[in-house]
Structure 1
């Protein structure tokens, strides 16, 4: 299904949270590899926490690199749980189309600026959906969030992206809450993916401020939550 055009507005009524698993120094991966190495230490309680969040929100959003590197399912596995709509940002649709989000029955929506007819046809053959936008609009998450609200009826969104995707939301101050599972390890590496990458804010008064809400201990790991001031 192809949907063209959307409201060009900055206002939205969508609740957006960033949910991520990080090291002590804020890294999402070990080296330039998948995040799965960090996630192997998670307990059943932590896995259930992630599933509860996915059951709670209308949609879950990631970038194309997360799909290609981690090949996640992005579903809710709780008994009687409801899986969120999976939203994937991709400029070039450079997938094998054998990734998990394409081969199961759960709903997947690709937001793309690609006009590659062969790839677009492949997506529809797999019973997945496409929201086609301009290359400029694909970089503006204010517009993308309005698009998801207007076209898909999404009122709550959980972002589980990599550093670049997370920055594309953070630079517009779009996260209402931040939820972090922190592992007690130091990873290091200047080229290792961090919670938020991109060009970053250049002055302290431009930075986005959050208020600490609570901390819970899950074995040796911490679950931290913050809300926007």
Structure 2
């Protein structure tokens, strides 16, 4: 047992958040949740949601605790669940252990919970206080809340550029824009987000793997936007699709319009393990309907996407208002070149006051490189491509 002197509920909730984040990359589409139990000023139990399908944080903290927990205080960043799913409800064990008071960071947006867990605890005589570090708790699970409240994946756009705004030289060479420390952090992002998306242009020019190279990490589901079905059968993506879940979004009519041998290509891709997802084109355009695509990905349980596309795909997502967060890595390099690619292309805006602005920005340093990240709120209004 750990003696805690003069600790506030906020102090305990910070401990809870530190525990919760250990579930990153392991629990989606569930939220990351931690739990700390305190009695007589001492921490007597702690736990977190360790893997999808496993016990939730509260049950992990309480199930093996040998202390008498009657009247103890329990701290958790998300409202305890109250329904039977893959595991029993957390409210049940909290009541069984005779916890006296529960401090909750934020309520659950899942309609199966959504205030019902708190209500059940109160009906059993347990005091409940909510809103402890509420914003920090929501921020930790921004993916979960977006997925629950909007029914579509949370999209984080990531790119690396030089100080003069280029993602590659005019020759197309792009290895490497940033240093090893920044690229290591990107592997952490690939572990955290459930899917990773790129356009066919990126596949044709770079032949990437789009896997997670972090020790103990989880490979994201690879999603390639390829309306004409041009992905090479000898690309790294296709050759490893039997090992790493891979989805290629395409449009049969568009592929046929360009004379692709679709029947033969489809057969060979499916034999390699590629999941082909037919997506309609956006009205009066020859690009895939991204809103439709995201909905189909959500139906498959993909709650978040790390967008590592080129400038065209990035512009399309921004124009549609489909990006929630941006990770912009900036390397202290200058490559110049009027034709060198930039991270967001398309037509662009005509007035600076109409620029898409990031909110809640943070600046992080990785070796010589910087990363600016922030949220995009509401619909963006970039012009049509």
Q: Same fold (TM over 0.5)?
A: yes
Post-superposition offset of 1:217: 1.8
1:136 aligns to what SS in structure 2? coil
CA distance, structure 1, for counterparts of residue 348 and residue 320 of structure 2:
11
The residue that corresponds to 1:100 in the other structure is: 236
CA distance, structure 1, for counterparts of residue 349 and residue 297 of structure 2:
26
The residue that corresponds to 1:140 in the other structure is: 289
2:177 aligns to what SS in structure 1? helix
Match of 2:317 among 160, 169, 178: 169
Report the TM-score, using the length of structure 2 for normalisation. Answer: 0.53
Match of 2:276 among 130, 134, 148: 130
Contact between 1:139 and 1:168, CA under 8 Å: does it hold in 2?
Answer: no
The residue that corresponds to 1:50 in the other structure is: 186
Q: Which has the higher contact order (CA 8 A, sep 6+)?
A: 1
Post-superposition offset of 1:188: 2.5
Moved more, 174-183 or 132-141: 132-141
The residue that corresponds to 2:160 in the other structure is: 21
CA distance, structure 1, for counterparts of residue 203 and residue 170 of structure 2:
17
Q: How does 1:77-88 map to 2 (within 5 A)?
A: 77-88=213-224
1:62 aligns to what SS in structure 2? strand
Query: Alignment length, in residue pairs?
Result: 215
Residue 227 of structure 2 is aligned to residue 91 of structure 1: yes
Match of 1:36 among 161, 167, 175: 175
Taking structure 1 as reference, are residues 207 and 143 closer, same or farther at Cα in structure 2, changes over 3 Å only? farther
CA distance, structure 2, for counterparts of residue 52 and residue 131 of structure 1:
27
Report the TM-score, using the length of structure 1 for normalisation. Answer: 0.87
User: Any idea what the Cα deviations from partners look like across 1:170-229, whole Å, max 9, x if unmatched?
Assistant: 102221111122111122223211110012233445432212521122221112112114
The residue that corresponds to 1:117 in the other structure is: 263
Post-superposition offset of 1:118: 1.1
User: Any idea what the Cα deviations from partners look like across 1:146-173, whole Å, max 9, x if unmatched?
Assistant: 12112x2211111001000100101022
CA distance, structure 1, for counterparts of residue 220 and residue 364 of structure 2:
25
Residue 338 of structure 2 is aligned to residue 153 of structure 1: no
Q: Which is higher, the Rg of structure 1 or of structure 2?
A: 2
